Structure 1
Amino acid sequence: MTYAITQTCCNDATCIAVCPVNCIHPTPDEPDFGRTEMLYIDPGSCIDCGACADACPVDAIFPADALAAAGQEEYAAVNAAFYEERAPRPVPEGVPTFHAWGAPSFERSLPADFAPIRVAVVGTGPAGMYAAEDLLLHTNAEVTLVDRLPVAGGLLRYGVAPDHPATRRIGDTFARFHTHPRVRMFLGVDVGTDITAAELAAHHDAVVYAVGAAGDRRLGVPGEELPCSVAATDFVAWYNAHPEVAPEAIDLSETERVVVVGTGNVALDVARILVTDPDTLAATDIADHALAALRASAVREVVLLARRGPEDASCTAPELLALGRLPGVRLVVDDHDPRTGAAIDSAGPRDKAALLRGAVRERVDWSGRPGAGGAERRIVFRFHSAPEEIEAGAVRVTGEGGPVTVPAAMVLRAVGYRGRPVAGLPFDEAAGAVPHAGGRVEGRPGAYVVGWIKRGPSGGIGANRTCAAETVGTLLADAVAGSLPAPAGGARAFDRLVRGRARHVVDARGLAAIERAERARGEETGRPRVKLGTVPELVAAARARRRLLR
């Protein structure tokens, strides 16, 4: 029996670090690392020790013979297929392998006699927490966690789909650092509004910005600003109870068809949520208002528009595979362009296009009602098609025989995230990121970036681990070289400054109180948690513990 990696793989390579026989690839020192959609276990060299499954932060690794029970039997073949064209990797006889990457190495560390440095990390999503973890595990640094929202998590809390709970379990790994003795937490503090970037820098040896990419890319077509045109980033935030998106921001009661522009993972996420049985979603932590809206939803069909063909779909194969397993949902490919069918028919077994062979192929009549009168909900892929103009109640799209009007009361733009300028830092408008060299911000000594604001909106959660390692390595090299600016103020002075400026500061104890409150609300309805969806609610929950102690 061997193990296999499945859909929820986060690519952060924790499993590789513990594998005693080097059977998981690609590794961080291989060219394909960060480019493949997931990691893969070689069934020819796996020794069934289970170390990878124990270490996996998102529960993505299972014994191959247990996959059928989990409905993921395809992943045994997916893992094996990765190695079909690669040389076998036998375990060296008589030579124990204690670490898959070679001898243990701790380059990201400071000399034992080096005085502790104070580092502020702005942003508590995966990128920021990987950086904090690296600093806390490999150095004696003191870390200040800052976030503009009164709750931690960032994209992990507000960007991961609620029906992917395993992906969010990596948050448990990060949570253990929230109460670390060398960590101070200031949630609900906006750098650039409550305090300036200069003030933050004046109280720390270095500042690491992990603020992500909160904006969305534009389509550049007429009608994009109409109320019916909604950024998928806002839709994701809406169903995840983000406090900056109002519950009434999305109305699904009067539209039978939703058009989603894009075929990336976010596009598939929103399509899946729109057609999933609400009773299934009721077992997740989806926002209460979103669950109620989906129960009352009139949506019966979601159309995914792709400018290119199925062979170029930007989603990952595991997410596409999962889309075909939705109960009560038909997967349809609009056969309007002969290139689409040809690409699917000629696709190799490892190509994403091959996963659409089980979909119904038909020439969709867009003048009819969504679903053509069928009882099931459906997802329609329309490849080689792009929006030309968005109108109230319809969207004009390109096609093989000329433009086609697709009636739809809502258009979701899912063509990518985009970084926003950061107060006090330079910004590259073309890249939507902060210019840097190895994470060091150009022209700003002591300032560093990590995650999407550093490299652009690419790569999943696990990609931030290696990204953070590079940034932290650069920061520590600068510390050893003596090039970090000396802070003018200390930790206590910073505490006084922040609490004098920000109205609702939440610390680690307050965050724990929010966690308890949300889980308690979930227990009342048989759900894992019910999120608090407004800043006042979050702050009130954080302060409830103080009132109890009085």
Structure 2
Amino acid sequence: MSSIGTTSTPLRVAIIGSGPSGFYAADALAKSSLTTEIDIFDRLPTPFGLVRGGVAPDHQKIKSVTRVYERTASLPNVRFFGHVEYGTDVTLADLQQRYHAVIFAVGSASDKKLGIPGEDLEGSFAATEFVGWYNGHPDYRNHDFHLDDAEAVAVVGVGNVAMDVTRILARSQEELKVTDIADYALEALAKSNVKRIYILGRRGPAQAAFTNPEIKELGEMQEADIIVPAADVKLDSLSKAMLTSDEADKKDVRNVEILQEYAERAPEGKPKQIIMRFLVSPVEVIGEDKVEAIKIVKNELYADDNGNLRPQPTEEYETIPVDLIFRSVGYRGIRLSDIPFYDRWGTIPNELGRVVKEQGSDDVVPGVYVAGWIKRGPSGIIGTNRPDSVETVNSLLEDVAKDKVWSPHADTDIEGLLQDRGVRYVTWADWQHLDEVEQSLGKEVGRPRRKFTTIDDMLKALDSASQHAPGD
């Protein structure tokens, strides 16, 4: 029987990625019956992944989930190494020499394309870019969406991210200035000239992915009317049958009720309009040097061989003049060095969290595991990552009992390796200091926090704190 996980030989696990799935994996490991030592790595100096960089700034309650992660990070057998990039600062070989296993919890960092002519014109963006920008993510901090030159925007997709993008575009300054939105985004949105926001869904209202709270919020905006054409929420026979069946999702039923209520609501003459369209797909982005319009085709639904309702185009087309397009049709993972990748899905191939050499194969890569969106694809809410990560950790623990993990033998701890390589890593104590500074800066102006939005500013703040430490 394996001796790994004892006091003399603790189970040592590296987790790449400090978003929800990474922290839930760390928590599951820490709660196991084995003695564990867990190191969490992130390429940014800040933890929490999409909770910090993806959750909309006007959804502060959702961000409170980080308190759970903070408890995990504060455990004596858990360390955080921020500003350490896998594949650059540390390699798979480095990890293999120092840990029994690694769990990749890196999420889905890129977006899916529409695959239509004109998609790459200036003014056409992935929703991920806009979300990262207004949340102060260092990768997107310098983007310019020219909101002051845009009157009409198309948001392609009807998931919660599309709703977030729409809300932020439609919010008043009064609503935004009490959030933790990035300072530069607050300023740019104050100068925005956007008056019309079209939301385009390729299927019907009964198939929309957004949740009830998300669609209800759009009807409660201070400065925006919501307009839903009655024809777009009229249900076809297939959707009616779906909603009245025993398998109907209560979320879908309520979504349709809310949308039909909006269709009957008279506009109040607010300065902005949110116009929701269903059963339409973009077929072309029109423009010379930049986006000028989006051409859409009307769809109709049909049932495939498995009974799923799918859209198919008709011969009916329409052109909507717009200045900006945000596509929100899904996320994709990106390939990592020395790790198998399934390009079709944008995921790392795995079986119950165990990485395999090819999709559908049972040829396991020993010691390598995966959790979260990079494991299953971009689905679910934050809490969905908990059972997903627990499943992965259970697979890892089963392999530990069978001695099917790595046998580390390096002379130096990862901390020593990083120091030798001159990597300026950020500890959990460092992050706590940054967190305190951000919250203090926010408190001065009545906001939850004012974020550092560049890595240089984060590191400078830490350097300044160390220079003025007590006793110096």
Opposite residue 356 of structure 1, the aligned amino acid is: L
Offset, 1:249: 2.5
Residues 131 and 305 of structure 1: CA distance in aligned 2, closer, same or farther (over 3 Å): same
Q: CA offsets, 1:464-490, max 9 Å, x none?
A: 100011011011111111111201225
> SS where residue 402 of structure 1 aligns?
strand
- SS of alignment partner, residue 149 of structure 2: coil
Q: Is the 8 A contact 2:5 2:11 kept in 1?
A: no
- Aligned-residue Cα RMSD (Å) equals 2.4
CA displacement, residues 149-194 of structure 1 (integer Å, 9 cap, x when unaligned): 1111111100100111110001011012223211222110111112
Which structure: greater strand fraction? 2
Contact 2:196 2:273 survives alignment (8 Å): yes
Q: CA deviation at 1:379?
A: 1.0
Q: Which amino acid aligns with 1:417?
A: Y
SS in 2 for 1:127: helix
Counterpart code for 1:516: E
Alignment pair present for 1:268 and 2:166: no
Check 1:435–1:522 CA distance in 2 against 1; reply closer, same or farther (3 A cut).
Answer: same
- The residue aligned with 2:302 is none
State the alpha-carbon separation in 2 of the partners of residues 156 and 338 from structure 1. 33
Question: What CA distance in whole angstroms lies between the structure 1 residues aligned with 2:98 and 2:332?
Answer: 30
Alignment pair present for 1:238 and 2:158: no
Q: Secondary structure, in 3 states, of the residue corresponding to 1:387? A: strand
Which deviates more, 327-336 or 227-236?
327-336
In structure 1, C-alpha distance between the alignment counterparts of 2:18 and 2:263, rounded to whole Å: 43
Q: Which has the higher contact order (CA 8 A, sep 6+)?
A: 2
Structure 1 counterpart of 2:284:
389
Counterpart check, 1:352 vs 2:255: yes
Equivalent residue number for residue 5 of structure 1: none
Matched, 1:423 2:326: no
Question: Displacement, 1:258?
Answer: 0.7
User: Distance in 1 between the 2:55 and 2:233 partners?
Assistant: 35
- Residue equivalent to 2:30: 136
Contact 2:92/2:338, CA 8 A, preserved across alignment = yes
Is 1:324 aligned to 2:227, yes or no?
no
**1:76 corresponds to:** none
The answer to whether the Cα contact below 8 Å between 1:344 and 1:356 also exists between their aligned partners in 2 is no
Task: Map Cα deviations across residues 29-64 of structure 1 (whole Å, 9 max, x no partner).
Answer: xxxxxxxxxxxxxxxxxxxxxxxxxxxxxxxxxxxx
SS in 2 for 1:462: helix
Structure 1 equivalent of residue 301 of structure 2: none
Query: Aligned AA for 2:30?
Result: L
> C-alpha separation between the residues in 2 aligned to 1:358 and 1:446?
53
Residue identity matched to 1:418: R
Residue in structure 2 matched with residue 177 of structure 1 by the alignment: 72
Cα distance in structure 1, aligned partners of 2:73 and 2:123: 40
Q: SS at 1:176's partner residue?
A: helix
User: Does 1:440 find its partner at 2:354?
Assistant: yes
Q: 1:113 to 1:514 in 2, by over 3 A?
A: closer
Measured after TM superposition, the shift of residue 231 of structure 1 is: 0.2
Any idea what the Cα deviations from partners look like across 1:96-121, whole Å, max 9, x if unmatched?
xxxxxxxxxxxxxx977783111001
Residue 140 (structure 2) pairs with residue 250 (structure 1): no
One-letter amino acid of the structure 2 residue matched with residue 352 of structure 1: N
Aligned residues: 432
Offset of 1:449 from its aligned partner?
A: 0.3
Partner secondary structure for residue 444 of structure 2: helix
Distance verdict in 2 for CA 1:148–1:473, change over 3 Å = same
Using the TM superposition, give the Cα deviation of residue 339 of structure 1 relative to its aligned residue in structure 2, in angstroms. 4.5
Q: Say if 2:361 is the partner of 1:408.
A: no
Letter in 1 for 2:399: D
- Rounded Cα–Cα distance in structure 2 between residues aligned with 1:505 and 1:113: 28
Pick one of 375, 382, 385 that aligns with 1:454: 375
CA distance in 2, matches of 1:258, 1:501: 47
- Whichever residue aligns with residue 457 of structure 1, its letter is P
CA contact (8 A) 1:344 1:354 kept: no
- SS of aligned partner of 1:249: coil
Q: Which residue of 1 aligns with 2:394?
A: 473
Structure-1-length-normalised TM-score: 0.74
The 1:335–1:488 alpha-carbon spacing in structure 2 relative to 1, beyond 3 Å, is: same
Where 1:403 maps in the other structure, the secondary structure is strand
Partner SS state of residue 120, structure 1: strand
Matching of residue 544 in structure 1 with residue 438 in structure 2: no
1:116 maps to 2:10: yes
Percent identity over the alignment is 38
Counterpart of 2:420? 500
Corresponding residue for 2:183? 288
Q: Following the alignment from structure 2 to structure 1, what is the Cα–Cα distance between the partners of residues 422 and 176?
A: 36
* Matched residue type, 1:397: I
Name the counterpart of 1:529: 449
In 2: Cα distance, 1:342 partner to 1:335 partner: 16
CA distance in structure 2 between the partners assigned to 1:232 and 1:342 by the alignment: 33
What is the letter of the counterpart of residue 48 of structure 2?
Answer: G
- Secondary structure (helix, strand or coil) at the match of 1:464 reads helix
**Counterpart residue identity of residue 328, structure 1:** E
Q: Give unmatched runs, 5+ long, in structure 2.
A: 245-249, 299-313, 357-363
Aligned residue in 1 for 2:203: 308
CA contact (8 A) 2:204 2:232 kept: no
Pair 169,337 (structure 1): closer, same or farther in 2 beyond 3 Å: closer
Runs of 5+ unmatched residues, structure 1: 1-109, 363-370
Distance 1:140 1:526 in 2: 44
Deviations 1:216-274 (A, max 9, x none): 01100011111211000111000000001134432210111110000000001100111
Partner residue, 2:82: 187
C-alpha distance in 1 between matches for 2:89 and 2:15: 16
